[in-house]
Amino acid sequence: MRNKVFKENPNQVFHLQAKKSLGQNFLNDQHIIEKIATSINSLFYNGKPKYLHEIGPGSGSLTQPLLNKGIQILALEKDQRAVDGLNETLVKNNENKIQVIQTDILKWSPQSDSHISKLNKCVCVGNLPYYISSDILFWFCKFQEYYTHGVFMLQNEVADRLNAKPGTKDYGRLTVRIQLFFDVQKLFEVPASCFVPKPKVDSAIVKLTPKNFSFSSQDEDNAFGRFTAVLFSARRKMLRRALAAQLSDLEKKQEGNIGRFWKLANSLGVTEETRPDNISPQVILEFHKFFLNSN
């Protein structure tokens, strides 16, 4: 049964009841909506075509202001009710300016969009459901070569983790991965009162600008994930203890590996007593490469 299309509040293009199972919280503050749209619009310059992918447009509260700014949109939406509502309103009223695809973003690839390529990139935006925000960020890492920027609404705590510095409580595995792939900028915070239904936590808008970085293969990416899991499971231990088992295994394969590792570590400003959560993403990557190439 199709969702009935009508306006219940001025920030929704059509009425859509939030579904808890999909983690839906709809932005309902016109000032914040316009602030986000303006931030996104500022990313298009030097005559660059205004084209973006919007993840989870929901009831279109951000989609409409983006269209008003002359931005062409490919909307990627899992909820069939929202797909129907967007097609019956925005698509009908903005011919050739917006296309809506019903899909699970984690199963979708930007390679299927003929408008973009690694040489002809676009912007990706979205209000990410809290319960899968990390998964979507990992998806964005995988396909970052297709995007000039990502602008995402995240739980404020997650935004702080992405932007964290080594040695702080928010610094962890997610921080390391995201900062290898992107320059991270927390633009501004969004109070919980700006959403319907009101979530239990505040949110924040984060801009991710891709770096020229990628792993050579999925196997290397997986190996890096395992390596950071070892490090941060012992984040407050001294490094020689955190990596004791891994270094012992490497020494068995080739005598002198331990000495070579500590020589590398010292050249990067790290000692045996350094704790993993005080080591920068780039240095962690160098350690990962050492273990990978020593196998």
Instruction: Mark the binding-site residues for S-adenosyl-L-methionine, compressed into ranges.
Output: 25, 27, 56, 77, 104, 127
Which has the closest alpha carbon to 134: 23, 19, 275, 274? 23
Indicate the Cα dihedral angle 157, 158, 160, 165, nearest 10°: 130
Q: Are the C-beta atoms of 172 and 284 separated by less than 8 Å? A: no
Q: How many residues are listed for the chain in this entry?
A: 295
Tell how strand 182-190 and strand 203-210 pair up: antiparallel
The binding site consists of: 25, 27, 56, 77, 104, 127
